[in-house]
Amino acid sequence: MSPSNRKNQRAASRSPNRRRKKTLNRAARRLAAEAARLLSEGRIDKAVAEYRRLVELAADHAGAHQELGAALYKSGAFDEAAQAFRRAARINPDLAEPHYGLGLIHKDRRQYQEAVRDFSRALRLRPDFLLARHNRGISRFSLGRTDRAAEDFQAAVEARPDFAEAWHDLAACHAHQRRWADAEACLERCLGLESDNPELHFEFGVIHSEDEATPPERAIEAFENAIRLDADHLDARFKLALTYLQIRRAHPDARKLAIEQLGNILDREAIRARTFTPAEAWFTLGTLYDDLPADREMALDAYRHCIEADPNFAAAYNNIGAILRERGETEAALESFRRALDIDPHYHLAYRNIAGIYYAEAEELLAKDLTRYLDLDRVRAAEILQRLLVALLDTARSDVYQDAWQEMHELKNLLAILGTKARNAAESGEGGGEVAGLAQQIFDRVAERLRTVRHDQPAMQSVDLNQAVRDAVRAARQIMAEGTSVRLRLDPRLPQVQADPGRVQEALRNVCFNAVEAMPGGGRLVVTTEHRSEAVTIRVKDTGTGIAPGDVRKIFQPGFSTKPGGSGMGLVLARNIMLEHEGGLEISSNPGVGTEVTLTLPASGTIWGPPSPLRLRPVLIEDVSQMLTQEV
């Protein structure tokens, strides 16, 4: 337990003794005083022995059993402590403290439902029992009942405004719900109570780095404050390095500053941190060196240190393979990519890199590797071969798309020249208006085709999909027929995703526009967002004309459309965008009933831990692996 909780536990454990002190004889009072002194000095075993003697002298005294239970709890003897607390509750059913003690035991054993029950019993007997209310909030948070936990923490700080731990955990609740402004306000109250606590500045930095509306300079300032107060705060140094890493494209000095922070961490004999591992620090350093061709040798060295620290770090093997392939060392690169897949058979970047080698450089290696994979167990071999086939097809598609894009781009430029000349001729009275109109139509169609076949890498950043849905629906309202109703069912706890915001917005607009155009006489549009397991889904449902079963199979063929004058590109483009993001797009439809389009994207963002029972320990911990893999 924390120092503050130990202090409050002592106060809680002595309160029944004070209430019934007059029932103890002089010898028992001396024993109780001696045991309390030993406990305050940290001599827990001796204190337990004295409390056992006290119980022998005063077997029917509830306070004696309560004090023994508290001492046993501190010693870690939970079963005996629970027996003592239950004995105290039987002797005096009006005491709140035994139920509080039982709640602490259940909470420490992660039996949160039972802990909530015991803390609630204590609060029914003593509504002003702040420690019981605070610990009930922690238990509720651990059960996922964030709103109820916030109610407990809010009541605790209202009753005692200097209750720093409750302010801290209330901030954690707000952060879990991504209510950044409220989380910051609570941490501000904590800072007002303990301005020199480096952990609070660290947590401020984490919140600032998560809040998209907050400039990165505020996160940098907070992490630097934490380091100023504690030069050995390695978590703050690592988060500061990651913040610099994120902004290095726009701020050239940020790369050097990030390398300095990582160097400070990695030069230490022992790395003690909560939010990252030494392997992740080495990998991040490799990522930064990997930015410049001149530093690739240092990047290789960092990635190899990463593997020494964690032999199962698949991303490091993948990046080593990428550098080796760039050098022309195809066999060594391929072996590194294979090692990445041996560690993580789901690692899609390694599949893409292997497929690139097969497709471009070494067909004979394909047969050799197929034999190697078939020597694995059947289930694993089937999974690897399926993923490898998809990667090969994607590589081939990219190659074909690139050629098609180049040819169509040249055609578009010629059409632009033709259109300009035709318009100039029309304006000078020489005719050409009809030609200009036809050229413009062809130009628009070619431009749309170009968007469909382009295969650039998405510019990834954190995207709020709920807001993207609102923006897309707002744009679609402009073409809605009279009598069209809209209902948004947006999950308030939807995590942000790593995506190209422009492309995702384009896909959502295309799907929403298609839905609206399918209801020329009005209807109902329902858009739902949902977080399931590792994916985020967006469902766009309309009550339009629907699509015939035979046409559903053709819907992703470029140029096919069920609408008169439709280009047949909207859903093709939307699906391509989802595939670029490792997601998908599916359609289900009933003629005369309506159509539902489901867009899927992999979930990302941070994982928020429950408020810690330890005093002011960081609870706003980011899962850095997502950021690291994005840098591959």
- Between CA 184 and CA 179 the distance in angstroms is 9
Position 430 confidence tier, pLDDT thresholds 50, 70, 90: low
Tokens at residue 273, please? Answer: 């941190």
Can you tell me which residue has the tokens 């002089």? 26
Give yes or no for residue 282 having a pLDDT over 50: yes
Look up residue 389 and give its amino acid: L
Higher pLDDT pick, 28 / 310: 310
Q: Distance between CA atoms of 182 and 179, rounded to whole angstroms? A: 6
* pLDDT given at position 604: 54
**Is the model's pLDDT at 607 over the cut of 50?**
no
The predicted structure's pLDDT at residue 369: 62
* 144-150 long-range contacts, CB within 8 A, separation 24+: 146/173, 146/176, 146/177, 149/173, 149/611, 150/174
Banded pLDDT at 421 (limits 50, 70, 90): low
Strand partners, 540: 527, 597
Quick one: pLDDT at residue 577?
81
pLDDT above 50 for 328:
yes
Q: What is the pLDDT of residue 251?
A: 87
In angstroms, what CA-CA distances link 492 with 177, 278, 464, 495, 511? Answer: 8, 35, 11, 9, 22
Which residues, 6+ apart, have CB-to-CB distance to 473 below 8 Å? 486, 488, 512, 525, 527
pLDDT at 9: 44
Q: Are 133 and 152 in contact (CB under 8 A)?
A: yes
Q: How many Cβ atoms sit within 10 Å of the Cβ of residue 158? A: 10
Query: Across the chain, which distance is largest between two alpha carbons, in Å?
Result: 120
Higher pLDDT, 130 or 375: 130
**Is 461-602 assigned to CATH 3.30.565.10?**
yes
- What count of other Cβ atoms lies within 10 Å of the Cβ of residue 346? 11
More confidently predicted of 348 and 400: 348
Q: 446-473: per-residue pLDDT in tens?
A: 555 545 445 455 667 788 898 999 988 9
Give the range among 94-103, 122-131, 162-171, 393-402 with minimum mean pLDDT: 393-402
The answer to whether 54 touches 68, Cβ cutoff 8 Å, is yes
SS3 (DSSP) at 395 = helix
Residue 618 is predicted with a pLDDT of 28
Collect all residues with Cβ–Cβ distance below 8 Å to 331 and sequence separation of at least 6: none
Residue 6 reports pLDDT greater than 90: no
Q: List pLDDT tens digits, range 231-257.
A: 999 999 999 999 998 888 888 899 999
- The Cα 439–Cα 443 span in angstroms is 6
- What region does 616 belong to: left with phi over 0, alpha with psi -120 to 50, or beta? left
User: Residues of the chain with pLDDT > 90: what percent?
Assistant: 37
Which position has the token pair 């320990």?
617
Mean pLDDT for all residues in the chain: 78
Could you tell me the pLDDT band of residue 492, with boundaries at 50, 70 and 90? Answer: confident
Q: Is the pLDDT of residue 409 over 60?
A: no
Task: Return the minimum-mean-pLDDT range out of 134-148, 316-330, 595-609.
Answer: 595-609
Contacts for 204 with CB less than 8 Å, ≥ 6 apart: 184, 187, 191, 222, 225
Measured on CA atoms in the order 284, 289, 293, 298, is the torsion positive or negative? Answer: negative
Q: How far apart are CA 298 and CA 304, in angstroms?
A: 10
Per-residue pLDDT at 109: 93
Distance CA 585, CA 526 (A): 17
Identify which has the larger pLDDT, 366 or 318.
318
What's the confidence (pLDDT) of residue 390?
Answer: 60
pLDDT over threshold 90, residue 301? yes
Residue length of the chain: 632
Strand 497-499 to 535-542 pairing: unpaired
In this structure, what token pair is assigned to residue 251?
Answer: 């701020």
DSSP 121-190: HHHHH-TT-HHHHHHHHHHHHHTT-HHHHHHHHHHHHHH-TT-HHHHHHHHHHHHHTT-HHHHHHHHHHH
Q: Is the pLDDT of residue 166 over 90?
A: yes
Assign residue 565 a region (left: φ > 0; alpha: ψ between -120 and 50; beta: otherwise): left
Domain boundaries, the chain: 399-453, 461-602
Task: Report the helix count and the strand count for the chain, using DSSP H and E.
Answer: 28, 7
Is 222 a residue whose pLDDT tops 70? yes
- Rg of the chain over Cα atoms, rounded to whole angstroms, equals 32
d(C-alpha 333, C-alpha 181), whole Å:
47
In sequence order, the β-bridge partners of residue 498 are 462
pLDDT-based confidence at residue 614 (cuts at 50, 70, 90):
very low
Residue 299 predicted with pLDDT over 90: yes
Q: What is the pLDDT of residue 542?
A: 92
Q: Is the CB of residue 124 less than 8 Å from the CB of residue 103?
A: no
Please report which confidence band the pLDDT of residue 426 belongs to, taking 50, 70 and 90 as the band edges: low
468-488 pLDDT, tens per residue? 999 889 888 888 888 888 888
So what's the pLDDT on residue 560?
47
Is the CB of residue 608 less than 8 Å from the CB of residue 175? yes
- In three-state secondary structure terms, 485 is strand
Integer Cα distance of 603 and 532 in angstroms? 9
Spatial CA neighbour of 233 closest among 214, 254, 206, 194:
206
Quote the tokens at residue 566: 């439709």
Is 563 or 338 the better-scoring residue by pLDDT? Answer: 338
Lowest mean pLDDT among 252-266, 565-579, 597-611: 597-611
